[in-house]
Amino acid sequence: MNYFIAGTDTGAGKTAVTAGLLGAWRSRGHRVAGMKPVAAGVDAAGHNEDVDALAAVSAPELPAAALNPYLLPAPTSPHIAARLAGREIDFERLDAAYATLVAMTDRVLVEGAGGWRVPLTDTVLMSDLARRWRLPVVLVAGIRLGAINHTLLTVEAIERDGCPLRGWIANVVDSTYAYADATIDTLAARIGPPCLARLPFVPGLRPAGLAERLTSVALALEDATPPPGTSSRTAP
């Protein structure tokens, strides 16, 4: 089954979790793809670290243009970055890229940019991709001060959009935050779908190490029954 990996905000840990899940599936013999439909922000060499991290754990020989159809220079919201670059995000191009990856692999994880409501154009949001491709969602909650409000509002938005939330992953992103456990417990008591993993703050954790931590999550997602209406095709 394919999934959309959403986050409560920029820096919540979407890329690390996505790469970890892909690595866990690859270690079990699956052919996987980590798709970043739109990435904003590049280094001096023109690379985006999220795109590179996902490509490194994806199956070899997948088209780079399918893994990342849009790479925009400015490190800001995709709709602003596209405008600054004089480009327009075309959904037929995104659909074609996603269909290519679905045809070439048996697991595709689509990583969003920023949070659930980040705009891609003046009229379309990142969340519309999950709806368009009928993907169940895994939410990565960045655990720090403010996480309770951000996470509960994001869960509410996902459910209001009619997207099946398969579960959420608590990722501690602030090593100085003394109330991480209490925050995660508070969220777990208020969110219906399960907390799939609690990830402590680990500086410099590599995808291989995270893949080992997320093996049980990958297995749970692998065995999940597709929700009604879920499809690898785009919505009509």
> 163 — phi, psi (to 5°)?
-90, 130
Q: What is the rounded CA–CA span in Å between residue 72 and residue 105?
A: 26
* Cβ neighbours for 190, distance < 8 A, ≥ 6 positions apart: 152
Q: For residues 40 and 48, what is the distance between their CA atoms, to the nearest angstrom?
A: 8
- For residues 166 and 194, the answer to whether their CB atoms sit within 8 Å is no
| Full 3-state SS string of 20-52 | HHHHHHHHCCCCEEEECCEEECCCCCCCCHHHH
Is residue 36 part of the annotated active site? The answer reads yes
Catalytic residue, chosen from 19, 20, 21, 36, is 36
Identity (one letter) of the amino acid at 112?
A: G
Q: How many CA atoms lie within 13 A of 34 on its CB side?
A: 27
Residue positions annotated with a catalytic role: 36
